[in-house]
Chain A
Amino acid sequence: MEFVDGRFELREIQKLEGHTDRVWSLAWNPATGVDGIPSVFASCSGDKTVRIWEQSSSTSSSWLCKAVLEDTHTRTVRSCSWSPSGKLLATASFDATTAIWENVGGDFECISTLEGHENEVKSISWNASGSLLATCSRDKTVWIWEVQVGSEFDCVAVLTGHTQDVKMVQWHPTMDILFSCSYDNTIKVWADDGEDEWSCIQTLGEPNNGHSSTVWALSFDASGDKMVTCSDDLTLKIWGTDSTMQPADTDGFAPWRHLYTISGYHDRTIFSVHWSREGIIASGAADDAIRIFVENEEKDGLVDGPLYKLLLKEEKAHDMDINSVQWSPGEKRLLASASDDGTIKMWELASVSC
């Protein structure tokens, strides 16, 4: 890859203000930012609202707030996630509910509210086909919901196994396998047996070279063969599975194993990590910095050389903790970051001109 010799910088293109409390999370609409469609993303906040931001035009470097979704959640909106088609937006709140919003000609209507968790819902994820939705909560459970016709969502499984609150859920990018990470320091892998019986098929914990404190987030590479996780233990960990052994059913499930630990960079909790389609890993942390890592292709002939290296560090990227970093789905290397300082920043990863 060209990252070997090039020098790169993270160029701030816009600072978006509007939220009146910390911004917890943001999500790009996967159906935008391509084929000349201006990119759209949603952000959610401690101010109990969700904001929808749209690029002025597909070539513009400016995003505008197009809608504010309010008066539905009664507490912090912790995270948000678009369905694969980009038509539905799911939002998870500390009010113990998940709301489903539909974009009707630019207006967002709340078409369904999923209730069941005992307390704060922290994360939501749609599977690749958009037929399943997963949610997780401080109540230590993960719920799987099936999308029915007519905006109905049926709970098909309540997964127990984590011993503490579950911070994030994320479906595998191509298979119906669910990943969750928790305050109990583990990552769990969940699959169904073909007869809609869901169970935990693997736990990645400290004995497997896993994390020694809360695991806050996880992200897959484009192929789905690798996963990166970030933690309060100040490390990022890369995990891999053998895709050539990946059969359609779970009987021959290829287990995930620890490949590499990226440590010694962040010095406060790492809250967010996101792997771009090109293989670039961005991380955001409570040290107010964004770091960019890439695979290390020049190991100086060392067999045990580092597998990943720091490409750049943007110190003081925000005035306060960074809670979320997300690469855009479009062609350009755009990264959006959300912070406790109440702002969202848009960055472009660009090569430094000499």
Chain B
Amino acid sequence: MNILVNYVVIPLVKIVVIVAILSGGIAYLTLMERKVIARLQHRLGPMRVGWHGILQPIADGLKFIIKEDIIPIKADRFVFTIAPGISLVPAFIVFSVIPFGPPDSLWGTGGYVTDVNIALLFAVAVSSVGVLGVILGGWASNSKYPLLGALRSSAQMVSYEVAMGFGIIGVLLVANSLSLVEIVEKQRSMGVWFFFVQPIAFLIYYFCGMAETNRLPFDLPEAETELVGGFHTEYSGFRFSLFFIAEYANMITVSSLAVTLFFGGWLRPFSSVAALSFLDIIPPPLWFVIKVLIFLYIFIWVRGTLPRFRFDQLMRIGWKVFLPVAMANVMVTGAILLKFL
């Protein structure tokens, strides 16, 4: 009975709540993106549906559902149909290991669905599966622009994942654990966020994360101006929206992992300074959400500011800048840890 409650009922409730919050968050992230980009370009953005366009995401969702779902006649129907799912499911699975609150919160069940000893590896591994949806979707469309998008996506993913992995190893060396809960706890006990210990690792992680979510300036698999819509050119209606949701879910994943690894997760700023304990009035999960929102804002800000890379530039940055710098970071960190600790 107890086992049933502890391992089935409680996680299930948490999963339902997280998926619900995430879905709502994604819907309103699209509105936030349109509003912020509009402000950057001196426009108003969506204004018609509801007060200042507050109901726009609902209208968009309805539109996606009622639009016709077209499958090209020469497409590989089976692969074409499941590709958006392959892209979407891993994006949501990652959140099962991301901690939103301390282990003693939520009546002692912990502010996370599960705390596994390889949580960080799991998160990186599962989010790397999502790209298969993009590649398969591009191939199954059997049309030239999606195929080009798919090829670009696979090359880009392979190039940036290596650098990303090396960036994360820097954190791993300091934290001495792959468990995300323990990584946050370590930042509390050390009294410093890992961003201040590993700034280079953070920059590499965040840029590679941007590349992995196919966001500008790394959105070459989509590249509207040259490839129409890239891998999702042939997709329409609900299936198109699944790709869209996956992209936004990945943005939230990258931001959440960045916050957890480098900015103290659910911890308030200066968690070791007792004089600032009035900040505890904001509960830990809310601190987490605030930090994630800041990173999501940076995502949108960068999209509104920077132009797209050319493909050779993209490869050069990945292999000749990010990877060597990340490796050097690991070596220097390791040497310092060996010498002084």
A, B assembled together: no
What is the interface of chain B, defined by CB distance below 8 A to chain A?
A: none
What is the interface of chain A, defined by CB distance below 8 A to chain B?
A: none
